[in-house]
Chains A and B, each alone.
Chain A
Amino acid sequence: MSVIEQVRAHVKERLQQLDGVVALRQTVEGTAPFLFREGDNLDQLALEPQYPLAPVVSLLHKRDPAVRIGVVARGGDVRALVEMAKREQVDPERLHIIGVACTDDEAQDCRCSDPAPSIDAWPHAVLVGTPAQGAGPNPLVAEYDKMSLEERREFWERQFSKCIKCYGCRNICPVCFCESCALEDPLWVEKGVLGPPFPMFHLIKAMHMAGRCVACRQCELACPAHIPLTVLYDLMRRDVEALLGYVPGEDLGMGPPLSLTLEEAPLRAKVR
């Protein structure tokens, strides 16, 4: 059985006990996240392109405190679910994970070093597919490391000057779930002014990604200005691992090392 057939079979089986399963649905219009329910046409279930599905799980869990759902999740989705569970954005007891291991090609595409969802710590989870090795570190980070301080400043000045302040990098990010965001606080970021304050706008988000960024690359893919945002967050991940021994998304049982109080949303609905 192919991977997608196995996924569909798992979803079909779980739908008998759950209220629905979050996955991608492909129709003539295109492919987007969807809550499959019993009786829905599972031939429409697709695995690409990758949308962040953890925020959808969170939305549904917050909307209905009794709802029990599943999710067809890639490595990045599961890592995001791990960080969200630690901050009460999803409820592991009410979540069944159907994990899909990405192929080596897919992992290279996303520059993902950890392409197989680790599902062991989750109360209800299965894994489909054969775990691939994963990609090496971001080559842009190695280039950055060779730059002098002055060159680094110029690099970011050049990159951030392209920013159109669309907030897409925050909106798409699965671990940016704060009810009130510092990037909308006039204290830091003046409304209606382009470009965003240099370098505060991007550094605020980067600081908040310490111990949170799960390297899913969704921000970079959503950036209309093609700013290599993952360089920034990869550097943050590297420091957090070196200094605090913490890899976001890796271990459901390990508490986050920083008690940075962002106005994190309690387990209830957020409308953006």
Chain B
Amino acid sequence: MEYQNILTTCIYCGCGCPLYVQILDGEIVGVLPSKEHPISRGQLCIKGWNATAFVYHSDRLKTPLIRRGDSLEEATWAQALGLVAQRLATIRDESGPDSIGFLTSAKCTNEENYLLQKLARAVIKTNNVDHCARL
């Protein structure tokens, strides 16, 4: 029998509370707050306590899905991202760059947010960039 706690970071908001994921024989069995860490100080909100609830959930998506007509079809990441890039280019060419907006997240790193606005401004050429905190 193997039981241990693995330190990770809550994925649900910009606070980024550290938490432990309890692992019993390779299976996630729960969450514990990190008592020593200065951010969470042994306390979590309801999302942190349930941060692993999706892992074995039957509704969890395990591959990208592409909508074709009324059905969603499984796809590879290359197919899904290729389709997104192609549609963004088409919409920009047909309706202009400002017909597109980019929404980013407090949960991303500064660098990821920088990259997203770079994609918006330098590739699509729009200043429509906003943030989940204002949605």
Q: Which residues of A contact B (CB under 8 A)?
A: 19-20, 22, 25, 29-35, 37, 49-51, 56, 59-60, 63-64, 67, 164-168, 171-172, 221-224, 269, 271-272
Contacts and interface: CB of A to CB of B under 8 A. Distances in A.
Interface string B21-62: 010110001111111110000111110110000000000000
Interface in B79-97: none
B70 interface: no
Contacts of A50: 35
B24 A51 contact: no
A33 B5 contact: yes
Nearest to B25: A63
Nearest to B2: A35
Contacts of A221: 35, 42-43
A30 B37 contact: yes
A30 B36 contact: yes
Given A168-B33, A222-B33, A34 B5 contact: yes
Contacts of B7: 29-30, 32
Considering the complex of A and B, which 4 residue pairs feature the smallest CB-CB distances, nearest first? A32-B5, A35-B3, A224-B43, A29-B7
23 contacts: A25-B4, A32-B7, A32-B32, A33-B32, A35-B1, A35-B2, A37-B2, A49-B42, A63-B1, A63-B24, A63-B25, A67-B1, A166-B43, A166-B45, A166-B49, A167-B49, A171-B49, A172-B33, A221-B35, A222-B42, A223-B43, A224-B44, A272-B30
B58 to A, nearest CB: 14
A30 B37 CA distance: 8
Contacts of B31: 272
A172 B32 CA distance: 8
